[in-house]
Amino acid sequence: MKIIAFIPARCGSKSIPLKNIRELCGKPLIYWNLKALQKAKNVDIIFVATDCEEISEVVKNFNFSKVNIYKRDKENARDDSSTESVMLEFINKHSFDDEDLFILVQATTPFTQPEDFEKAVELCFQKDFDSILSCSRIKKFFWTDQGIPINYDFKNRPRRQDFSGILVENGAFWINRVKNIKRNENRLSGKIGIYEMPEYAAIDIDEEDDWIIAEIYLKKYILTKELKEEPLIEILDKNTDIKFVTICHNETSTGIINPGEKIGKIVREYNKILIVDGVTSVGGDYVYPDKWNFDVLVTGSQKCLGIPPGLGFIMVGSRAWDIINKRTNIHSYYVNLTLYKQWFNERGDTPLTPSIPLIIAQNISLKMMFEEGFENRVKRHRRMAKATRVGAKALGLELFAEEEYASNTVTAIKVPPKINGKEIINSMKELGILIAGGQGELKDKIIRIAHMNVVQEKDILITFSALETALNKLGFDFQPGSGIAAIERIFSQTS
């Protein structure tokens, strides 16, 4: 079975001539979806269906290995031609298997990322959907021409943050099996699933004003994210003698989690060894050392694993072992990994006396983790993190990290102007709640609330009760109880 992506791109756009190859943020519009599809791991082949030589040449110059040009018939490239007509034309001219998945992608919605295509395809298989369409949730109130509200009761107008909104087709993509398209002559059929995307993804470029808005959002949500990874590529390009790359996966001093999988992919492409500090992510969030190309992963007992400090854990992959095993003169005894490996293989023991009480404690902690179930454990950590962030924002406080990169084991919150962070910490300490402040340049500028290991709903609620009391004491202007109320709404909605 193959997964086939298909992008119709005709010459005859009237509102914006040749818009498919007009530059958006420095690249032709069609480039953005082709780039995402090229990177999507489960997309096998991509076709651009066009009647335009100029579009063909532009697409060919991208040099994307999965991309092919399909010359569509002129009769299916008219203004009144339907997308279904060119889909059927294309499918009928190729010998695709009936079970092949067909992804129809619209070039005029340039916000789809590789993971969107990957997750949507996985959703199709996991839920046994016949077809999938992408949607965005719009939090607006809709009415009919007859003055009838569609999606809310105007007599009980909800607050925007409490309003679930309505899902609308955003025009990004549709997925269906080849046999269903041939049988029903439609991009959707049978049991239909929804793949939800951010609200900004609902922008479909058709007019000049759409173009302006799309550029703003592409820069804000897509390019800014990509730029955060590009410095690593630039460094590796300029410094070819680099042998190892080290990262802290989850950074507690700033409350962010680094994109470990993406960094691992970049480092592996440059054939470097990646060493990862997972002290505050292992046991609290997803960490897949093999899948994410981590060569060495280290962690400790004192954070998400839930016991006092004293135990260190090192996971070493085959590529790292190849390098270690070539060393003939190892100066250190204590951290000689070959010695540890030898002792473990031959005796099932360590070469140095371990802390037996900590090992017993760690076994008990791990037993608790297994009883909870790892999926449930990660889910709980993410609920606690979400509740903490929502509660902070409800109080009028600003998060230090962008939410896209926010840690799920600790949250960093900016200290309001004219208030000293140390005073918040001391006031909460008097109430029996310990939180942390900033370090180095961030001293007294942020406060940090941990929600890792065994933290539960009641712990978050008690912490925010103390935080509200401290802020009120220090003269911060906010609505008393707003943080607690926001957190309780999160806890009532999710489990």
Of the candidates 269, 184, 225, 308, which has an alpha carbon nearest to the alpha carbon of residue 25?
225
What is the CA 293 to chain-centroid distance, rounded?
17
**CATH tag, 3-217:** 3.90.550.10
- Which H or E run contains 274? strand 273-277
**CATH tag, 374-492:** 3.90.1150.10
Cα 290-291-295 angle, rounded to 5 deg: 35
143 beta partners: 149
**Burial readout 341-363 (b: 16 or more C-beta within 10 A, e: otherwise):** eeeeeeeeeeeeeeeeebeebbe
Torsion of CA 466, 468, 474, 478, to 10 degrees: 180
Predicted structure pTM score: 0.59
Assigned architecture for domain 229-372: 3-Layer(aba) Sandwich (3.40)
Torsion of CA 360, 364, 366, 367, to 10 degrees: 140
Can you tell me whether residue 110 is helix, strand or coil? coil
Residue 412, token pair as written in the block: 């960093």
Backbone angles phi, psi at 145, to 5 degrees: -65, -20
Domain residue spans of the chain: 3-217, 229-372, 374-492
Q: What pLDDT tens digit does each residue of the chain (495 aa) get?
A: 999 999 999 887 777 888 999 999 888 999 999 999 999 999 999 999 999 999 998 998 787 878 999 999 988 888 889 999 999 999 999 999 999 999 999 999 999 999 999 999 999 999 999 999 999 999 899 999 999 999 999 999 988 778 888 999 999 999 999 999 999 999 999 999 999 999 989 899 988 999 999 999 888 877 766 656 678 888 998 899 999 999 999 999 999 999 898 899 889 989 999 999 999 999 999 999 999 999 999 999 999 999 999 999 999 999 999 999 998 888 888 889 999 999 999 999 999 999 999 999 999 999 999 999 999 999 999 999 989 999 999 999 999 998 778 999 999 999 999 999 999 999 999 999 999 999 998 999 999 999 999 999 999 999 999 999 999 999 999 999 999 999 998 898 655
